[in-house]
Amino acid sequence: MNTEALKDLLYKIADDQLILGHRNSEWTGFGPLLEEDIAFSSMAQDKVGQSWQFYKILNELGESDPDTVAFMRNADQFHNCKFVELPNGEYDFSLIRHFLFDTAEGIRFNMLSTSSYEPVAQLAKKIKGEIKYHTMHANIWIKQLGSATEESIGRLQQALDYAMPYALGIFETSKFEADLKQEGIFDGEEALKAQWLTQIGEIIAETDLRMPEIQSLQPQLGGRYGEHTEHLQPLVEEMSEVFRVDPTADW
Amino acid sequence: MTLKSLDPRVKRLGIPEEWDTPLSPKETLDQFENYEAFIQVKEGKALEHVGPVHAPNEEMAFLFAKEQYSRRGMFCNALCVVKTENIIGTEFSDNGISIYDAVTAQPSGIENQSYEVFHLLKRGKQHKYVGTVMAKDFEDALVVAKHTYPSQKPVFNVWIAESEHILTSNEEDKDMWETLKEKQYREAIDYKGQDRIKAYKERMGQA
């Protein structure tokens, strides 16, 4: 088993979830509807909970304990894609991100449920239900607002066009792509992306939204290996503010 | 008699100053429609009414109901929503009397429409799902329900809705209600303050 390849995979999954979980949690108290406020908060907790599970596996593979890993790194040590660290902006962008990211996540975990690395396969199966709800939630909202009024369609289209290059950054290939495939750990980002394009295309086709020209876009890469936007470091500082006051405190 | 108020909220109501003048007609409100949500708390239990939601369509009503009325992992196994206007309710019967006592007709024998039936067995409690009947219309469905689902206890009120008007969570999506068990960080109980409180109390007691 190529442990380095495995860790590389687990870090990017866990960091994506932690960072997006934190971003989603910023909607608490600000949701456009009470139910959406609750939904984003609840999905945020799911994501943070999932990231914790992945950090625990990393811990078993020799990395530091989950709290230290989550709260004591600086932005350039994070492996999340740039997409998840972008500020929430308006609800239109947050919803589009939720739709694009969670669809990819759902497919990723479906692929990982047959991984040769048993702890990951087990975990992927355990969280399938949570992610099923996240994607269902996203799809219903996109279908609703993507075909409701001129304003809602226009806003979502703008958000979609802005988000797409960043969303393509989810599929930034790993240094270990070949190893992961060869060992049956993960089928790879390209396979994931292909399925993702089909799935989001199907939902978008049910709305008045246009799918951006994927071929003409420049994916926003770099996040997987520590290159981030200026938005990540402030997020990390805020997220770890309390922990860093006294990292040895017993909670 | 004239009505005068300095309160802007009362002024906003646009009540005519002259008593008995008819109110001007209101504009139609841009409002979501009402749906009723039902939840099955546990495998094998009946779906029971939990409350209303307001939503632009059935699927959105389902999402809102899920957020408002379900707790994953513990208290929800299935969820369904139905537009309130699609539920036909009977009158309420008095104590000790079943609403079915007033139903004397015989089933029509025409079974071309599927209906879902909900009973209210205790005042102040929720309507609970009892089952499906095949009938020709609502009145007929009530008759068929009386024969199909006889109740020992009086049924105070019956709700009936066409089966196709109900959106229910899929059996194969049941895992949607499951959640990672390890979420102590969400529970107040995980913050171990009790030991310290106890120690403090003991210290204070000794002092």
Residues B87-142 have pLDDT tens digits of: 999 999 998 899 999 999 999 999 999 999 999 999 889 999 999 999 999 999 99
Residue B133 lies in a domain: yes
Q: What residue of B is the nearest CA neighbor of A251?
A: B191
Judge whether A244 is closer than 8 Å to chain B, CB to CB.
no
Q: What's the rounded Cα separation, in Å, for the pair A167 and A102?
A: 11
Residue A215 pLDDT exceeds 90? yes
Judge whether B184 is closer than 8 Å to chain A, CB to CB.
no
Q: Which two tokens stand for residue A11?
A: 């870090």
**What pLDDT score was predicted for residue B189?**
65
Segment holding A35, helix H or strand E: helix A34-60
**Substitution target from B81, B180, B191, B195 for chain A, most A beta carbons within 10 A:** B180
Percent of chain B with pLDDT strictly greater than 70: 90
Confidence of residue B196 (pLDDT cuts 50, 70, 90): confident
Residues in B 142-181 with any Cβ partner in A closer than 8 A: 173-180
Residue B186 pLDDT exceeds 70? no
DSSP character at residue B141: H
DSSP per position, A78-105: ----HHHHS---SHHHHHHHHHHHHHHH
Nearest chain A Cα distance for residue B120, angstroms = 28
Judge whether A53 is closer than 8 Å to chain B, CB to CB.
yes
**What pLDDT score was predicted for residue B191?**
67
Domain that includes residue B162, residue range? 31-171
Question: In 10 A of CB B44, how many CB atoms?
Answer: 7
Residues in B 44-73 with any Cβ partner in A closer than 8 A: 53, 56-57, 59-60, 62-64, 66-68, 72
Radius of gyration from C-alpha coordinates of chain B:
25
Judge whether B19 is closer than 8 Å to chain A, CB to CB.
no
Pairwise CB contact (< 8 Å): B186 & A45:
yes
Percent of chain A with pLDDT strictly greater than 70: 100
**What pLDDT score was predicted for residue A181?**
96
Pairwise CB contact (< 8 Å): A39 & B176:
no
Pairwise CB contact (< 8 Å): B183 & A53:
no
Domain boundaries of chain A, sorted by first residue: 3-245
Nearest residue, CB atoms, B180 vs list A127, A144, A148? A127
What residues does B132 pair with on adjacent strands? B116
Predicted TM-score (pTM) of this structure: 0.85
Pairwise CB contact (< 8 Å): B63 & A35:
yes
**What pLDDT score was predicted for residue B74?**
56
**What pLDDT score was predicted for residue B141?**
96
Residue B46 lies in a domain: yes
Q: Which two tokens stand for residue B11?
A: 């002024």
Q: What's the rounded Cα separation, in Å, for the pair B42 and A198?
A: 36
Average pLDDT over residues A95-122: 97
Judge whether A227 is closer than 8 Å to chain B, CB to CB.
no
Average pLDDT over residues B9-31: 78
Over the stretch B150-185, which tens digit does the pLDDT of each residue have? 998 999 999 999 999 999 888 888 888 777 777 666
Average pLDDT over residues A183-209: 97
Judge whether A67 is closer than 8 Å to chain B, CB to CB.
no
Q: What residue of A is the nearest CA neighbor of B189?
A: A251
Mean pLDDT, chain B, integer: 87
Percent of chain A with pLDDT strictly greater than 90: 90
Residue B73 pLDDT exceeds 70? no
Collect all residues of chain A within an 8 Å Cβ-Cβ radius of residue B183.
Answer: 45, 49
Collect all residues of chain A within an 8 Å Cβ-Cβ radius of residue B67.
Answer: 35-36, 38-39, 42
**What pLDDT score was predicted for residue B194?**
77
Q: Contact at 8 Å (CB) between B157 and B92?
A: yes
**What pLDDT score was predicted for residue B62?**
94
Average pLDDT over residues A111-115: 96
Q: Contact at 8 Å (CB) between B117 and B131?
A: yes
Confidence of residue B29 (pLDDT cuts 50, 70, 90): confident
Q: For chain A, how long is the longest CA-to-CA vector?
A: 53
Judge whether B186 is closer than 8 Å to chain A, CB to CB.
yes
Confidence of residue B3 (pLDDT cuts 50, 70, 90): low
Q: Contact at 8 Å (CB) between A193 and A167?
A: no
Pick the more confident residue, A244 or B5.
A244
Over the stretch A28-53, which tens digit does the pLDDT of each residue have? 999 888 889 999 999 999 999 999 99
Q: Kindly report which listed range (A157-171, A207-221, B179-193) carries the lowest average pLDDT score.
A: B179-193
Domains of chain B: total: 1
CATH assignment, A3-245: 1.20.1260.10
**What pLDDT score was predicted for residue B173?**
81
Q: What residue of A is the nearest CA neighbor of B178?
A: A129
Q: Kindly report which listed range (A78-87, A140-149, B38-47, B185-194) carries the lowest average pLDDT score.
A: B185-194
Residue A148 pLDDT exceeds 90? yes
